[in-house]
Structure 1
Amino acid sequence: MTSLVGAGARLVDVASGRTLSGDELAAEVAAAGEKLAALPAGVLFARTAIDLDSVLRYLGAFESRRAVALIDPALDADVLSGLVERFRPAAVLSAPEGDAPAGYRAEDGHWLRDSAEGVTPHPELAVLLPTSGSTGNPKLVRLSRKAIFSNADAIATVLGIDADEVAPTCLPLHYSYGLSVLNSHLVRGATVVIESSGVLGRGFWDAVDEHKVTSLAGVPYHYEMLRRLKFDPAKYPSLRTITQAGGKLRTDLVTEFNDKMVAAGGKMFVMYGQTEAAPRMATVPAGDLAGKLGSAGPALPGGEFRIRRDDGEETTHPKIVGEVVYRGPNVMMGYTENEAELANGDDMGGVLATGDLGYLDEDGFLFITGRLKRIGKVFGNRVSLDDLEQAVRSAQVGIDVVAAVPGGDKVVLFAEGVEKDVCKAASRALSERLHLHTSGFDVRPIDTVPLLASGKIDYRTLEGRV
């Protein structure tokens, strides 16, 4: 592959009513690339919204081989300032309002670096994505052109994406899952509908109807909300596929949405990935979903899973629990924390220790059991925070959305939209299940669980409330 924009690909911009395809789309991408190519040496920072300009700018950077970091427009100003200081980008595109930082000048809505001197990124470096959300001091994940291409092609293969598919921008484009939807459709010559309100917005569903959208993508929170809204795919005859990634969706919801899609003549795919893998590593084939509930699926074409045991040895033997290790052409080149490291080559060799705990079954399907670092303690007993969340949701006390964080020698769980008596019932259910005193499980009501732009739970903010 030489271009992300396959023959026949189209961009439909709901906001402006424009449709770009063929020579017109190629010309717009080339024009965006020419502007970026004229900037000084260095990485580009692009504050990336869900709009046509952001998509064309990303494609222009990719096609002109300018390494670009896709930045959340809502990123905290101090975090953005720290990133600019560490990486000295050639420009911050669609910069925030206000004065440019030292060494930069504001021009046409961007910040342009005054100095022409800068570190030239490695020639294979294509995309950089932050490792964390709106707070903290994120490292950047370095993704090569090969990683982007290979993952887009593998995703398109397992999902059966072809030129007839019409995918909306359900998720932020600076989030790896949202970016992968864009890449995997354009590379196969499909249509992408650019609509900014997301699956919980009224305008989104109007666009689904008008443009005959065939698929949608969501993280667990979206499916929790769609359930509350009594989503029925039968109301949208063009919708043939739904995909879920961005964390483990509870099995009863997998069953519910899979049943709904099958009844409407469609399919559901559960996917697993990380930004460091550009980002997908596994997909459960739709036909196997009901029989493999809880699984993340087999590795994508070209990839392989192994399980690293406590002794450091790796195995594919079924039912052995350990850290999940992935090998594939879509693994990142490595992390970078400063400008100098942008010139680094491939530090990973196609091997990614995921930090997830899991096992393989007899068919090579992966099951994730938790995170190495998502561990809390209750009276000195180690507990999986992910398992506690799942236990609360399955306790049938009326809690659907819950987030668990460490709280010293207890665990604090924030339950969305419930009363205190429901929280007490959840504490009792956890106490009975783990045979530990109820005081070790501090379940608190919260109006809304805070989310990152990706739709994932913002655990860092919740930790600050403990």
Structure 2
Amino acid sequence: MAENQSLHDATVDPKNGYCSRTKIYHSLRPAVPLPPLSRPLSIVSYTLSLLQSPTTTTSGSLSSTDFLIDAATGRRLTYSTFLQQVSSLSSSLKSLHPSLSKNDVAFVLSPSSFQIPVLYFSLLSLGITVSPSNPLSSVTELTHQVQLSKPFIAFTTSAMAPKLPPYLPVILLDSPQFLSMLESRVSSSTEDNGVNQWDSAAILYSSGTTGKVKGVVITHRNLIAVIAGMYKNKLLNDEKAKEEENGVYAHPVSLLTLPLFHVFGFLMLIRTASMGETAVLMEKFDFVKMLEVVEKYKVAYIPVAPPLVVAMAKSDFVAKYDLSSMQKVESGGAPLGREVSERFSSKFPNADIFQGYGLTESTGAAARMRAPEEAKIYGSAGRLVQNIEAKIVDPETGESLPPGQRGELWLRGPIIMKGYAGDDAATAATLDSEGWLKTGDLCYIDSDGFLFIVDRLKELIKYKGYQVPPAELEHLLQSMPQIADAAVIPYPDEEVGQIPMAYVVRKPGSVISATEVKDFIAKQVAPYKKIRRVAFVNSIPKSPAGKILRRELINHALPSPSSKL
């Protein structure tokens, strides 16, 4: 694990953290102490210890402080009610399902709602591994995820239950039974369940280089390490804010537009609770509704995907609302260019826009901006977060590279995943024997320690922050009788980041149309994976080994207006 004192080594450049002897980059952020690994501790117990700490401003008023606000209904859930419901649900689960034990997996399939945070905290406190999935996933996708995670039980809604395998025991979140489990007055401690920090906390779904969905196993230690860093940053920011506001503390409200099954949304939920803040929860995202919510609840902080920053920078609707409460917008998933960042800043002069970088495999963290002056380093994802090390590795030679040179980013530290559920081969290919995570992203770190993401070696398409694996779509296309061959590439789109574009080779005599191709795929995948552009070609360029030369197709697509259908 990276230690801050390594910066005092004479071979480490204090400007960028690069050690010329080991060729490892060290974080420039002050190290954050973590609980001893030998100490039994769940992420819930750790989060509640921070919530109830004297350094948390709202710790003395949990009965009157709102934890969650439903954007659609205005319903509120205070911290004291939330904690009571978590305790009641934990007690009910132990009573009704005595065979449910530590390290069992619970599959969760549901839109964002008040029940989901209660469910997450309850399961995590019991040592149950939470495995949430996108409610838009198809039956085929869900079946594969269930095969990976091997859940003991599932929590879903009556509308979504038919999508799950019939053999899987189910508890319906919208049933009278579940609601009664929340209202049980029998308390259950979160301290006595024997959860170790190295125990699995969550299995979150992500795609790899092969396009096959993988279950990323995140431990309690991983989450503790990320939250510890966020909390430390929060304390520093609070002190600065108090100085600027003459000692007056304004209770912050954040807006969670991110789905709670996604690593970023999952993390932001825990972050909110650890800091005693209030989060407004949107079950279904709507741009205009979001603007209304920011105005109504005086939202100060919004973690977002890059397309939302673009929309806010370009939309004329924003002028109709009072958004002066916005202080900070954090964007991750894809770099923002100078033009978009400056346009956003001119429209929202009171709000700082910070970019960051992280993977599901690194618990959503790796690099981020922390100060307004860092936000001016356009195109950067910020500097390495605390307690993390990095290497930039030449993909061809395996040599570790100095600042300014491009290579694959490798990461090491307490935020790195345990591995992939049910896929030892993929784990071995991604994590080496020394604990380095091979991200598959082509990057460089500049002379001041700022990380820049150049390209994606993994070839994933990023649509609104979602990962779309080209190989998965290619397999589906190639299953069509009328198609001889196919390849899928990312096509740049200012609104959503990238869209899936298909190059299709028709079989002799086939007259299949672009619309038929799109419709065929749309019926089998989640909406964000739909193919949105199609071009017909005579052949797909491939290497002698049969690998698709995707870069050739990308270069062909961009200057060719005739490919737009």
TM superposition score normalised by structure 1: 0.73
Deviation at 1:314, TM superposition (A): 2.0
CA RMSD of aligned residues (A): 4.1
Task: Name the counterpart of 1:11.
Answer: 67
Mapped to 2, the partners of 1:199 and 1:106 lie a distance apart of: 30
Task: Name the counterpart of 2:203.
Answer: 128
Mapped to 2, the partners of 1:46 and 1:121 lie a distance apart of: 22
Question: Greater RCO between the two (CA within 8 Å, min separation 6)?
Answer: 2
**Paired AA for residue 267 in structure 2:** S
Contact kept, 8 Å, 2:288 with 2:317, in 1: the verdict is: no
Mapped to 2, the partners of 1:29 and 1:358 lie a distance apart of: 42
Deviation at 1:141, TM superposition (A): 0.3
> Is 2:145 aligned against 1:83?
yes
Mapped to 2, the partners of 1:81 and 1:400 lie a distance apart of: 28
> Is 2:266 aligned against 1:179?
yes
Task: Name the counterpart of 2:484.
Answer: none
Question: CA deviation digits over 1:401-450, x for unaligned, max 9?
Answer: 653647389xx9x9xxx9xxxxxxxxxxxxxxx9x87897466547xxxx
Rate the CA distance shift 1:93–1:364 in 2: closer, same or farther, 3 A: same
Task: Name the counterpart of 1:268.
Answer: 353
Mapped to 1, the partners of 2:369 and 2:67 lie a distance apart of: 28
In structure 2, runs of 5+ residues without a counterpart are: 1-34, 36-44, 53-57, 176-194, 239-249, 461-469, 471-488, 506-513, 519-531, 533-552
Mapped to 1, the partners of 2:457 and 2:442 lie a distance apart of: 6
Deviation at 1:246, TM superposition (A): 1.5
Task: Name the counterpart of 1:380.
Answer: none
Deviation at 1:289, TM superposition (A): 3.9
- Residue 139 of structure 1 aligns to a residue whose secondary structure is strand
**Paired AA for residue 68 in structure 2:** V
Mapped to 2, the partners of 1:21 and 1:400 lie a distance apart of: 35
Where in structure 2 are the equivalents of 1:210-359 lying within 5 Å? 210-230=296-316, 232=318, 235-261=322-348, 263=349, 265-289=350-374, 291-309=376-394, 310-315=396-401, 317-337=402-422, 350-359=435-444
Deviation at 1:83, TM superposition (A): 2.8
Deviation at 1:25, TM superposition (A): 2.3
**Paired AA for residue 12 in structure 1:** L
Rate the CA distance shift 1:48–1:151 in 2: closer, same or farther, 3 A: farther
Contact kept, 8 Å, 1:68 with 1:128, in 2: the verdict is: yes
Question: CA deviation digits over 1:179-224, x for unaligned, max 9?
Answer: 222122221221112222335142x333322322111122122222
Deviation at 1:104, TM superposition (A): 3.5
In structure 1, runs of 5+ residues without a counterpart are: 112-119, 377-384, 394-398, 419-433, 447-466
Deviation at 1:350, TM superposition (A): 4.6
**Paired AA for residue 107 in structure 2:** F
> Is 2:221 aligned against 1:146?
yes
Mapped to 1, the partners of 2:398 and 2:442 lie a distance apart of: 14
Where in structure 2 are the equivalents of 1:152-163 lying within 5 Å? 152-158=227-233
Rate the CA distance shift 1:98–1:291 in 2: closer, same or farther, 3 A: closer
Contact kept, 8 Å, 1:153 with 1:184, in 2: the verdict is: no
Mapped to 2, the partners of 1:276 and 1:244 lie a distance apart of: 18
Contact kept, 8 Å, 1:155 with 1:280, in 2: the verdict is: no
Rate the CA distance shift 1:33–1:444 in 2: closer, same or farther, 3 A: farther
**Paired AA for residue 217 in structure 1:** P
Contact kept, 8 Å, 1:50 with 1:169, in 2: the verdict is: no
Deviation at 1:351, TM superposition (A): 2.5
Rate the CA distance shift 1:439–1:148 in 2: closer, same or farther, 3 A: closer
2:86 to 21, 24, 29: 29
Deviation at 1:49, TM superposition (A): 1.9
**Paired AA for residue 4 in structure 1:** T
Deviation at 1:151, TM superposition (A): 1.1
Residues paired across the two proteins, number: 395
Task: Name the counterpart of 1:69.
Answer: 131
The structure with the largest alpha-carbon Rg is 2
Task: Name the counterpart of 1:55.
Answer: 117
Rate the CA distance shift 1:199–1:132 in 2: closer, same or farther, 3 A: farther
Deviation at 1:333, TM superposition (A): 0.6
Contact kept, 8 Å, 2:335 with 2:380, in 1: the verdict is: no
Rate the CA distance shift 1:323–1:439 in 2: closer, same or farther, 3 A: closer
Rate the CA distance shift 1:86–1:307 in 2: closer, same or farther, 3 A: closer
**Paired AA for residue 129 in structure 2:** A
Mapped to 1, the partners of 2:400 and 2:446 lie a distance apart of: 15
- Residue 397 of structure 2 aligns to a residue whose secondary structure is coil
| Percentage of pairs with the same residue | 23
Mapped to 2, the partners of 1:355 and 1:334 lie a distance apart of: 15
**Paired AA for residue 101 in structure 1:** P
